[in-house]
């Protein structure tokens, strides 16, 4: 019976929704998060005081060991990561360090402390791109960006710890998440924030790249269900079946905000840009009984409303963001 969870990256976008959902389900939760530019405890304000928090870098084995010693978790849910492709193109090294070596530290400690379940949060990007059809859990990993290569390293390490040491590892590979509280470096919040500020909206290439979109609360719920019903050693794709071209996502947001499409500015394509991701999710629906609930129109409307009402949160990050936008979109 798993009761005590250690959630890494719990102050991040998806991790924070998972922390709230798992507290709601009665788990005891502790969070390890170093609070990089992407981490923010404001995401956990409504559950403040209900979990133990450790501001620790997963690259730091000794400090991490003290947390394991103190908390003796039954389950580790590993979200902490450098998570943005464009930043990995600017600075690949930290991706390998955090996503690779940070994960190695967590797997080693989970083995030493005999954790009953380790959920390794990977990504659909490890498969590389697919023009037609869908990736199953058996598809080969062919990562194309430093980010996805570092996630493939993390993913394969989890597999190796299951096969070599018998550590009960489950791997999940979610598709693109969206929703409130996402840092405005990823497509949907960049578009919303730029549109709200009346600024040009950068769209890579001709905007024809396709992504599969999953509302963040659905993702958190799926991982809780995997925790409760998943089988160690298995891999589960987590997708919604909702595929959209980037340009159509941008247009839908502009429509919701009543803004002109003249704001769209096509910019030089991201190097190595994957054309399309698409997941076959029959395994998780068959074996776990999970299916995404939120349709894209509902999820997008909720997200747009949230940013409109919480623009001050975004503005509190303005300095870091504007510097980053300048570098990546060459504004
Ligand atoms: N967002 C998506 O669409 C998506 C899709 C598939 C998979 N994933 C994966 O899900 C996980 C969570 O993604 P997210 O979008 O919530 O990311 P995020 O960038 O919002 O959050 C990452 C969190 O990890 C923390 N962190 C980073 N480096 C750390 C370190 N060295 N030590 C401790 N904490 C550290 C950050 O402070 C932040 O709170 C990641 O592993 C990501 O690769 C994300």
Mean pLDDT of the chain: 97
d(CA 79, CA 266): 32
Is residue 69 flagged as an active site residue?
no
In this structure, are residues 33 and 80 in contact, taking their beta carbons and an 8 Å threshold?
yes
Which of 14, 93, 212, 249 best tests ligand 1's pocket when mutated (most atoms within 8 Å of CB)?
Answer: 14
* Residue nearest (by alpha carbon) to ligand 1 atom 27: 81
CA of 83 to the centre of ligand 1 (A): 5
pLDDT over 80 at 331, yes or no? no
- Determine contact, residues 262/199, Cβ cutoff 8 Å: no
To which CATH superfamily is domain 4-175+216-238 assigned?
NAD(P)-binding Rossmann-like Domain (3.40.50.720)
Taking CA atoms only, the protein residue closest to ligand 1 atom 42 is 83
Per-residue confidence (pLDDT) for residue 130, from 0 to 100? 97
pLDDT, position 330: 78
Q: What is the pLDDT of residues 107-145, one digit of tens each?
A: 999 999 999 999 999 999 999 999 999 999 999 999 999
Ligand 1 center to residue 81 CA distance, Å?
A: 4
Q: Is 228 exposed, middle or buried (0-12, 13-18, 19+ CB in 10 A)?
A: exposed
Which of 62, 81, 314 has most ligand 1 atoms within 8 Å of its beta carbon, as the pocket-test mutant?
A: 81
pLDDT band at 244 (very low <50, low <70, confident <90, very high): very high
Alpha-carbon distance 169 to 187, whole Å?
A: 31
Give me ligand 1 centre to Cα 9, in Å: 6
Instruction: Give residue 16's pLDDT.
Output: 99
What number is the average pLDDT over the span 23-32?
Answer: 98
Is residue 147 part of the annotated active site? The answer reads: yes
Residue 74 annotated as catalytic: no
Q: Which ligand 1 atom sits closest to the C-alpha of 182? A: 20
Q: Could you report the per-residue pLDDT of 275-313, keeping only the tens digit for each?
A: 999 999 999 999 999 999 999 999 999 999 999 999 999
Please list the alpha-helical segments (H only) found in 72-168: 85-90, 92-95, 103-112, 146-165
Active-site residue, from 124, 218, 243, 274 = 124
Give the residue, 318 or 246, on which the prediction is more confident. 246
Whether the CB-CB separation of 150 and 88 falls below 8 Å is answered with yes
pLDDT in tens, 79-108: 999 999 999 999 999 999 999 999 999 999
| Cα-to-centroid distance, 80 and ligand 1 (Å) | 5
* Contacts for 166 with CB less than 8 Å, ≥ 6 apart: none
Q: Decide if 280 contacts 235 (C-beta within 8 A).
A: no
Burial of 164 (0-12, 13-18, 19+ CB in 10 A): exposed
Q: List Cα–Cα distances, 65 to 58, 75, 108, 281, in angstroms.
A: 10, 15, 10, 36
Residue 213 CB partners (closer than 8 Å, separation 6+): 175, 176, 177, 178, 240, 242, 243, 244, 249, 296, 299
Task: Write the burial class of residue 69 (CB in 10 Å: 0-12 exposed, 13-18 middle, 19+ buried).
Answer: exposed
Which residue, among 30, 59, 62, 63, has the nearest Cα to 44 in the 3D structure? 30
């Amino acid at each position: 019976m798993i009761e005590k969870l250690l959630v890494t990256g719990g102050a991040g976008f998806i991790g924070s929704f998972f922390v709230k959902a798992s507290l709601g389900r009665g788990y005891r939760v502790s969070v390890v998060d170093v609070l990089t530019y992407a981490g923010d405890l404001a995401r956990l304000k409504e559950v403040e005081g209900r979990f133990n928090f450790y501001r620790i870098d997963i690259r730091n084995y000794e400090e991490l060991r003290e947390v394991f010693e103190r908390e003796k978790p039954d389950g580790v849910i590993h979200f902490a990561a450098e998570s943005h492709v464009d930043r990995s193109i600017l600075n690949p090294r930290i991706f390998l360090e955090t996503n690779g070596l940070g994960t190695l530290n967590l797997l080693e400690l989970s083995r030493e402390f005999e954790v009953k379940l380790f959920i390794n949060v990977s990504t659909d990007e490890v498969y590389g791109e697919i023009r037609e059809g869908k990736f199953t859990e058996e598809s080969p990993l062919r990562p194309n960006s430093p980010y996805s290569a570092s996630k493939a390293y993390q993913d394969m390490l989890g597999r190796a710890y299951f096969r070599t040491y018998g550590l009960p590892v489950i791997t999940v590979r979610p598709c693109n998440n969206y929703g409130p509280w996402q840092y405005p470096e990823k497509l949907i919040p960049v578009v919303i924030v730029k549109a709200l500020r009346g600024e040009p909206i950068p769209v890579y290439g001709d905007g024809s790249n396709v992504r599969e979109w999953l509302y963040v609360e659905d993702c958190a719920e799926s991982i809780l269900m995997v925790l409760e019903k998943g089988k160690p050693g298995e891999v589960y794709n987590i997708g919604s079946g909702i595929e959209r071209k980037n340009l159509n996502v941008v247009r839908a947001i502009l429509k919701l905000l009543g803004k002109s499409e003249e704001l769209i500015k096509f910019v030089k394509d991201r190097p190595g840009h994957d054309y399309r991701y698409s997941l076959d999710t029959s395994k998780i629906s068959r074996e776990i009984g999970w299916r995404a609930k939120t349709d894209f129109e509902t999820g997008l409307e909720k997200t747009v409303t949230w940013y409109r009402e919480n623009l001050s949160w975004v503005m509190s990050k303005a300095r870091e963001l504007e510097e980053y936008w300048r570098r990546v979109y060459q504004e």
